[in-house]
Amino acid sequence: MSEEKKRWTPLRVALVVAPILFWIVMEARGATPANRALALLVMMAVWWVTETFPLHWTSLLPMAFIPFFPALVGKTRLENIQTVAWAYANPFICIFMGGMLIGVAMEEHNLHRRVALNIMKAIGSSPRRILLGFAVSTAFISMWISNTATAVMMVPIGLAVISQLEVREGRKLPLLGQSIMLSIAYAANIGGIGTLIGTPPNMQLRGYVEQTYAGTSVDFLRFMTVGFPVVVLLLPVMYGLLVWIARKEEIKTMESDVLAQEIAKLGRMSTSEKIVLGVFLFTSTMWILSDPLRGLLTRMPALKDLRGDQLDAFWALVAPVVLLCLRVLSPKGLKRMPWDVLILLGGSYALGRVVQGSKLSDEMVVLLKHAGGLHPLLIMGAVTVTTIILTAFSANAASAQLMMILITGSLDPAKSNPRGTVPYLYGAAISSSCDFMLPCGTPPNAIVFGTRYVSIRAMAATGFALDCVSAILVALWIWGAARHWIT
């Protein structure tokens, strides 16, 4: 056995044993669903971040432990098992799978190289220009369509650019690849903050405020005056952080005439390229038009309960089926799909179900119950920090809804003071989109993690810094300026 293995063995044993001991302590405190959920959360977080076991093995823990949660979300253990099992078939996982398979088809027919060369010709091929181009374009698109759809659309393009740069350099570019992927995930999250339709928590804010406080509205322009400056503040911070990460990876800048020559070598687009491009554009258009299309479909009695994520997942699954039928996606291409990442994503959503169903999420926000006597800025900081922590382990929409209910109940139980309460509701809605630390935090995080260019440690380290900055900036912006025109 090597010295390295001898040195690491005790640590790995400790990483296995410590979470199990924590579980035993939680059992000793009282076998409540919340205690068991906390033990499971700690165990999975430790094993994910340290990669003690393969990540997809750890992701199966919710299924292994769910029989021990008799009062989770259903009346019986069977209902609990069914609820958690369905988390592994979440619509967002289907969207991820469809998007990745479109990317595989692009690579099979060299369409990704054509796209990448044209992008580099338009924005330049230096790392700073590429990162800026992806950050700004992803954030802008995400302001108008779902964050998930934006990330799925941009990831194949990002992979194409990375692949082309690596071919040109003759070596792997792990830091630049990581930075490009993170720029897509983070910019998709940040861009969704900018408009009322950018992400579900924003629309939840509108519905909750207008139902709770008659006469108080959250119209498109009013929200944008609060949300868009947050995008403007966070994007440069994110960009600077990622440029700093990629700074050690020097690459040669390719001149525009060389790029034009490379594009010319590809010749005219083949029929297969046109088919893949057509399927990609059609699927993207369906995602962009998801809301109005769903509005039409829900008028049909059989589809009255259709959700937006289900419709997006439908188009994401149709795309690879069409590509397979037209023989532009080969069976060999299916093997290149990161299937283990699908299990990882399923484990993330299953953990979220456990955290919510066990009421652990309610206990995680108990610190606000006695916050009424604090300085308003401290209350706003508590709101943004608590929301970001909560959304790391549960869906953004669920976190935002829980926080809005808690804020109103804690700070304005009579529901008579919109001017003093609504700014904190904005803080909760906006900060629910600011989780950058874990793959399970938001769908865009999970999607870029599936590309294998981003390790969970790298995302945790980078995301933690951005989480902290986001919590501070959102609190300062809303309390210091935006609260004066919110109500």
pLDDT, one tens digit per residue, over 155-174 is: 888 888 888 788 877 788 88
**87: its two tokens:** 């988390």
Contact 106, 116 (CB under 8 A): no
pLDDT at 5: 41
Percentage of residues of the chain with pLDDT beyond 70: 83
pLDDT band at 322 (very low <50, low <70, confident <90, very high): very high
Of 106, 82, 221, the closest CA to residue 158 belongs to 106
Distance CA 471, CA 434 (A): 8
- 229 pLDDT more than 80: yes
Distance CA 17, CA 351 (A): 20
Supply the DSSP symbol for 370.
G
- 6 pLDDT more than 50: no
CB proximity list for 225: less than 8 A, separation 6 or greater: 482, 485
Distance CA 404, CA 427 (A): 9
Distance CA 188, CA 152 (A): 10
- Which residue did the predictor score with more confidence, 13 or 37? 37
Percentage of residues of the chain with pLDDT beyond 90: 12
Of the segments 239-243, 285-289, 307-311, which one has the largest average pLDDT value?
239-243
pLDDT at 274: 92
Distance CA 52, CA 15 (A): 7
Mean pLDDT of the chain: 79
73-82, 122-131, 402-411: segment of lowest average pLDDT: 73-82
263-272, 393-402, 414-423: segment of lowest average pLDDT: 393-402
Angle between helices 33-50 and 456-477 (to 10 degrees): 120
Distance CA 22, CA 129 (A): 47
Side-chain half-sphere exposure of 379, counting CA atoms within 13 A: 24
Contact 195, 227 (CB under 8 A): yes
Angle between helices 220-246 and 174-191 (to 10 degrees): 170
pLDDT digits (tens, 9 = 90+) for 258-288: 567 667 877 888 899 899 889 988 887 887 7
- 98 pLDDT more than 70: yes
CB proximity list for 118: less than 8 A, separation 6 or greater: 263
Supply the DSSP symbol for 270.
P
pLDDT at 77: 74
pLDDT at 278: 92
